[in-house]
Structure 1
């Protein structure tokens, strides 16, 4: 019974580690776009990033994996772009809430000047 619990604990920890690595890779890859001026530079940087992640793919020790993830997250936070690109219509973008909704109580008439002849 304890072997089953131990295996379930191991699998849960591995799943959490895989998720942390996936999230870290996606964030780092998206941040690479902020640093690359041209697409051909991005492809080269993305390839190097992938190689850095693949270099530790063979590690099996859970504590070593946690240490590697922590080191990689710290390195990512240190190297993040200070002024990342934000899609204009996303929160923080230049067009976000440029045309805010009208205040409540104000109605928009869609009859375009048509009058009721009743």
Structure 2
């Protein structure tokens, strides 16, 4: 291998590893949306990990690209239609529930301690 092809190979493998890592993390987080209880999540997470581990020794770059494309298509097909959103995060039920008051309004926190002069 020449220096250019070696660099191209290393760059392609690095890109593939990053795509696999991102796909695994997204799929694992999405598994939490489908599992009602933790003991169910652990079983599903173990099955997901085994699916990824089954192909970890593949060396052919084109086959790896096909496996990643198939896995991404499967993930997109089975993504949860209503994923869990943390309540105070954007899209959550408590996001911006109590907005900041407009300018000019002063809030006095005296908690019932009026001036009795």
CA offset at residue 106 of structure 1?
A: 2.5
Q: After the TM superposition, which residues 17-56 of structure 1 pair with which residues of structure 2 at under 5 Å, given as runs?
A: 17-56=16-55
Give the paired residue count. 113
**Post-superposition offset of 1:5:** 1.2
Gaps of 5+ in 1: none
Task: Please give the alpha-carbon distance, in whole angstroms, between the structure 2 residues aligned to 1:5 and 1:38.
Answer: 51
User: Structure 1-normalised TM-score?
Assistant: 0.87
- Normalising by structure 2, what TM-score? 0.88
**After TM superposition, what 4+ stretches of structure 1 lie above 3 angstroms from structure 2?**
107-115
What is the alpha-carbon distance in structure 2 between the residues aligned to residue 80 and residue 41 of structure 1? 17
CA drift at 1:59:
0.5
* Structural mapping, 1:43-82, within 5 Å: 43-82=42-81
Structure 2 unpaired stretches of 5+:
none
Task: Tell me: CA distance 1:86–1:111, structure 2 relative to 1, closer, same or farther (3 Å).
Answer: closer
- Counterpart Cα distance in 2 of 1:3 and 1:12: 14
